[in-house]
A and B are shown apart, each in its own frame.
Chain A
Amino acid sequence: DQQVKQNSPSLSVQEGRISILNCDYTNSMFDYFLWYKKYPAEGPTFLISISSIKDKNEDGRFTVFLNKSAKHLSLHIVPSQPGDSAVYFCAARRASGNTPLVFGKGTRLSVIA
């Protein structure tokens, strides 16, 4: 049973345009969400997070939106740059207790110059 779903395995976007990566979750107990970026031959690196008390968090070119009623979050990258080409993982967990981060399968973003 996959609790965090990234239904698009890949996404191609032109440089300068907006990239939108989507993530759905099924566990209503999740209240903390993170996005990680992974380049080949490197470990995932933290990108941005959002708590369930918010519906938007922005950090430079990266914005995460959370729709709790739909159990859906999205990562917007504006403008997209070739260096953003990577695999993006959505992750979620319960903020209380020491429950582990649950990851989606990832979306491979290709930004075309």
Chain B
Amino acid sequence: KAGVTQTPRYLIKTRGQQVTLSCSPISGHRSVSWYQQTPGQGLQFLFEYFSETQRNKGNFPGRFSGRQFSNSRSEMNVSTLELGDSALYLCASSPDGQGTGELFFGEGSRLTVL
């Protein structure tokens, strides 16, 4: 069974640009969650999508947005990039959502903002 796939793995952007990251969950998983990992800050929850609906949202500004498609694939977008947005963005999927069992993580997309 293929794992969670995230693309691109690495990208470099400049301040003010926008970026879109993609996540393909494990087949059959309907929930996709996004986390931001920065040095010394652990994993900060961004949002969770379940059956194309945003079910939970963390404390991030509106520049961070996401969506989920009917095939459960998800994208997250960050607009007007800031230097502080440099981080590893992790996508995680689960069969029924954050409230049950464990999350299965992808390898992440490492974003560098210059």
Q: Do A and B come from one complex?
A: yes
B31 to chain A: closest residue by CB: A98
> Chain B residues with Cβ under 8 A from A94's Cβ?
99
**B98-A43 in contact (CB<8A):** no
Report the minimum CB–CB distance from B103 to chain A (whole Å): 6
B106 to chain A: closest residue by CB: A43
Residue in A42, A93, A96, A98 whose CB lies within 8 Å of B107: A42
Interface residues on B, range: 20 to 34
Q: Which of B28-61 contact A (CB under 8 A)?
A: 33, 35, 40-45, 48, 50, 55-56, 58
B66 interface residue per 8 A CB criterion: no
Q: How many residues of A are in contact with the other chain, CB < 8 A? A: 27
**B99-A44 in contact (CB<8A):** no
**Residue picked from B4, B33, B40, B102, most chain A C-beta under 10 Å:** B102
**A99-B107 in contact (CB<8A):** no
Q: Which of B92-106 contact A (CB under 8 A)?
A: 92, 97-99, 102-106
User: CA–CA, A104 to B56, complex, Å?
Assistant: 19
B108 interface residue per 8 A CB criterion: yes
**B43-A44 in contact (CB<8A):** yes
